[in-house]
């Protein structure tokens, strides 16, 4: 026969081994240090490790007062309450970040806006407008492709070592043209036509006109010498 179990009295319950219960955390804590994604927190003279919740976009820093919730090993920082040092605000996310708005998105800053990336920066829009009182652009290599380009300047200055243009047609209209060349200016064309409504003045220390087949000068008066 199987032995009958002995009846258990109330005082025997205290002798049974107790299973440790996980402590529930729901309140403020202080960030002591950070190692990767793990935050070392202190609360009520106790230290424990927590992770930053995905909804907490503000990056916690050592010394910050944060709000931590969780049970056992699953403890998360859901908000930063007070900054220890006012050194700016950093919004941090793991992975890609997408901002979607049904209307417009506006960024405004008093002291400036900086966009920095070691990779590629893309702007895709139906229309791009840039307005500034002063603009400075520095590129190592530039490739621009446009179907139509219209530029209006009050004053334009170009500085460089070499300028090359490869086009089918060039049309230039101006009131006055002044060009200074220190070295040699050379023009090569299939046919050269120059028309002057007023006076054509060519002055040189030595002037040479060579025609392999024909050299012709026409005028009502031709004065040489």
DSSP 117-169: -SS------S------S------SS-----S------SS-----S------S-
Q: Which residues form the domain of 61?
A: 22-82
CA distance 24 to 39: 17
pLDDT, residue 119, reads 94
Residue 35 domain-assigned?
A: yes
pLDDT, residue 18, reads 46
- The angle at the Cα of 175, spanning 191 to 188, to the nearest 5 degrees, equals 20
Provide mean pLDDT across the span 125-131.
93
Q: What is the mean pLDDT of the chain?
A: 87
pLDDT, residue 73, reads 81
Residue 126 domain-assigned?
A: no
The dihedral region occupied by 70, where left means phi > 0, alpha psi between -120 and 50, and beta the remainder, is left
Residue 212 domain-assigned?
A: no
Q: Determine what percent of the chain is predicted with pLDDT higher than 70.
A: 90
Residue 73 domain-assigned?
A: yes
Residue 4 domain-assigned?
A: no
DSSP three-state, residue 108: coil
pLDDT, residue 9, reads 54
Is the pLDDT confidence value at 36 over 90?
no
Provide mean pLDDT across the span 164-173.
91
pTM of the model: 0.59
- The CATH number covering residue 46 comes to 2.40.50.140
Q: What is the pLDDT of residues 174-211, one digit of tens each?
A: 999 999 999 999 999 999 999 999 998 888 889 888 88
Which neighbouring-strand residues pair with 65?
30, 82
Burial class (CB in 10 A: 0-12, 13-18, 19+), 58: middle
Residue 135 domain-assigned?
A: no
Task: Determine contact, residues 45/33, Cβ cutoff 8 Å.
Answer: no
Tell me the pLDDT band of 72, cut-offs 50, 70 and 90.
confident
CA distance 170 to 179: 17
Is the pLDDT confidence value at 95 over 60?
yes
pLDDT, residue 180, reads 92
Q: What is the pLDDT of residues 44-68, one digit of tens each?
A: 888 999 999 988 988 899 999 999 9
Structure token pair of residue 158: 């170009």
Residue 167 domain-assigned?
A: no
Is the pLDDT confidence value at 222 over 70?
yes
Structure token pair of residue 150: 């219209």
Task: Determine contact, residues 83/59, Cβ cutoff 8 Å.
Answer: no
Quote the number of domains for the chain: 1
Residue 149 domain-assigned?
A: no
Residue 56's closest CA among 72, 68, 43, 41? 68
Is the pLDDT confidence value at 17 over 80?
no
CA distance 204 to 201: 10
Q: Determine what percent of the chain is predicted with pLDDT higher than 90.
A: 50
- The angle at the Cα of 119, spanning 113 to 125, to the nearest 5 degrees, equals 65
Tell me the pLDDT band of 19, cut-offs 50, 70 and 90.
very low
């Amino acid at each position: 026969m199987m032995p009958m179990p002995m009846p258990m009295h109330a005082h025997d319950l205290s002798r049974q081994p107790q299973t440790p219960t996980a402590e529930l955390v729901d309140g403020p804590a202080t960030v002591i240090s950070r190692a990767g994604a793990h935050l070392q927190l202190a609360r009520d003279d106790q230290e424990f490790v927590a992770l930053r919740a995905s909804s907490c976009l503000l990056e916690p820093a050592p010394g910050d007062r944060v709000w931590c919730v969780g049970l056992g090993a699953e403890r998360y920082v859901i908000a930063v309450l007070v900054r220890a040092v006012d050194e700016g605000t950093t919004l941090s996310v793991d992975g890609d970040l997408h901002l979607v708005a049904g209307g417009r998105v506006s960024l405004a800053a008093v002291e400036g806006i900086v966009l920095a990336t070691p990779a590629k920066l893309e702007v895709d829009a139906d229309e791009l407008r840039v307005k500034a009182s002063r603009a400075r652009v520095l590129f190592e290599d530039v490739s621009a492709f446009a179907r139509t380009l219209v530029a209006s300047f009050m004053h334009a200055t170009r500085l460089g070592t070499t300028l090359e243009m490869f086009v089918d047609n060039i049309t230039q209209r101006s009131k006055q043209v002044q060009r200074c060349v220190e070295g040699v200016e050379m023009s090569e064309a299939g046919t050269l036509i120059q028309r002057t409504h007023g006076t054509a003045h060519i002055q040189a220390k030595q002037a040479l006109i060579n025609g392999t087949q024909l050299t012709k000068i026409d005028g009502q008066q031709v004065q040489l010498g």
